[in-house]
Amino acid sequence: MLYSTVPAAEKRARFRAALDSGVLQRLPGAFNPLSARLIQEKGFEGVYISGAVIAADLGLPDIGFTTLTEVATRGGQISRMTDLPTLIDADTGFGEPMNVARTVQELENAGVAGLHIEDQVNPKRCGHLDGKAVVDADTAVKRIKAAVDARRDPNLLVMARTDVRGVEGLGAAIDRAKQLVDAGADALFPEAMASLEEFEAMRAAIDVPILANMTEFGKSELFTNKQLADVGVNLVIYPVSLLRIAMGAAERGLDRLVDEGSLKGEVAGMQTRARLYELLDYEAYNAFDTSLFNFDVPTAR
């Protein structure tokens, strides 16, 4: 009830240990706090908090409109709903290296287990689109150094994301990755990798955990967990997938309502009231007041 009782420091320590375990960590993106509970219940190892989803949720394109306050607030709302570690998208760090330092402290306060900072210029864009641009190595390194120096919990995972692959190719991306790891990055997010061989080459070049971004409609094929584990990938994110699934279902439902004048035909595919209450742990709130859950809930699933 109310929810996670696991302190952020403990989640971070567990995340570090899990990344060392050799087991692929699967992090679906929570599109709201409630979906983070679903992710935990289904047995995933962590929860991703996507910048693209936070922006889309606000009806904005993912080009750097969201503020640190909005992202940290959402990070806190989602992190408090799960015992799992959360990894949050800190975009370019919301400004200059000095701003990156503040970003890290605010996200740390929000209770996330890790965050990633990317080397795109502002305004940034989705890493799987053409026409993006990256900052020079010196600026990218400064962002990571500022992040590492600013954290107060040494277990807060500072992940460097490089977008160089889509701009200058794999060789340049590997060079950039090495510089970011030398700057103190605990893990690496090589964006828009084109093949398993590219992940393999990145794996051979650096010795920190590597993330694969299995975003749909992007530059990477949707590899299986086994394919990714076999080439030495340590974490995989499905950043926007649950939002896409939910919005797809919402659109189909609305079309049916227009066509049929009722949602009767949709009910079988809906989450039931019973299941929603189960996820909310509704019954547990009787601990405060036993009159709260004194009714029958239809159990049909």
Query: Could you tell me the CA-to-CA distances from 189 to 115, 192, 200, 292 in Å, in that order?
Result: 11, 9, 13, 46
Task: Tell which one of 89, 106, 186, 198 touches ligand MIC (CB under 6 A).
Answer: 89
Is residue 78 a contact residue for ligand MIC (CB under 6 A)?
no
* Residue 97 binding: pick among ligand MIC, Mg ion, none (C-beta 5-8 Å cut-off by kind): none
Minimum CB distance to Mg ion smaller for 89 or for 163: 89
Question: Which is nearer to ligand MIC, 4 or 50 (by Cβ)?
Answer: 50
The residues binding Mg ion (CB under 5 A) are 51-52, 89
Question: Which of 64, 76, 85, 127 is in the footprint of ligand MIC by CB under 6 A?
Answer: 127
Minimum distance from residue 58 beta carbon to ligand MIC (Å): 13
Q: What is the dihedral of CA 187, 190, 196, 197, to 10 degrees?
A: -100
Of the candidates 176, 237, 227, 167, the residue with the CA atom closest to the CA atom of residue 205: 176
Residues 92 and 149: beta-carbon distance below 8 Å: no
Kind and range of the H or E run holding 190:
strand 187-190
Q: Decide if 247 contacts 52 (C-beta within 8 A).
A: no
Candidates 224, 244, 256; CA nearest to 35 is: 244
Applying CB under 6 A, which of residues 239, 241, 243, 244 lies at the interface with ligand MIC? 239
Residues 6 or more apart in contact with residue 203 via CB below 8 angstroms: 210, 231, 232, 233
Specify the residue for token string 């889509």.
166
Q: Minimum CB separation from ligand MIC for residue 10, in Å?
A: 26
Q: Tell me how far apart the terminal alpha carbons of the chain are, to the nearest angstrom.
A: 22
Q: Minimum distance between the CB of residue 116 and Mg ion, rounded to whole angstroms?
A: 8
Shortest distance (Å) from residue 44 CB to ligand MIC: 16
Rounded-to-integer distance, Cα 185 and Cα 271, Å = 41
Q: Which is nearer to ligand MIC, 40 or 66 (CB)?
A: 66
Is 128 a binder of ligand MIC (CB under 6 A)?
A: yes
Site for ligand MIC in 51-70 (CB under 6 A): 51-52, 62
Provide the annotated active-site residues: 48, 62, 89, 91, 116, 118, 126, 161, 191, 213
Residue whose CB is less far from ligand MIC, 79 or 213 = 213
Minimum gap (Å) between residue 127 Cβ and Mg ion: 7
| 119 lies in the site for ligand MIC, by CB under 6 A | no
Between CA 59 and CA 130 the distance in angstroms is 22
Give residue 95's region: left, alpha or beta (phi > 0; psi -120 to 50): left
Of 85 and 239, CB closest to ligand MIC: 239
Give the Cα separation of 242 and 48 in Å (integer). 11
- Nearest distance from C-beta of residue 282 to ligand MIC, angstroms: 31
The reply to whether 218 sits near ligand MIC by the rule CB under 6 A is yes
Task: Summarize as ranges the residues that interact with ligand MIC (CB under 6 A).
Answer: 50-52, 62, 89, 126-128, 213, 215, 218, 239-240
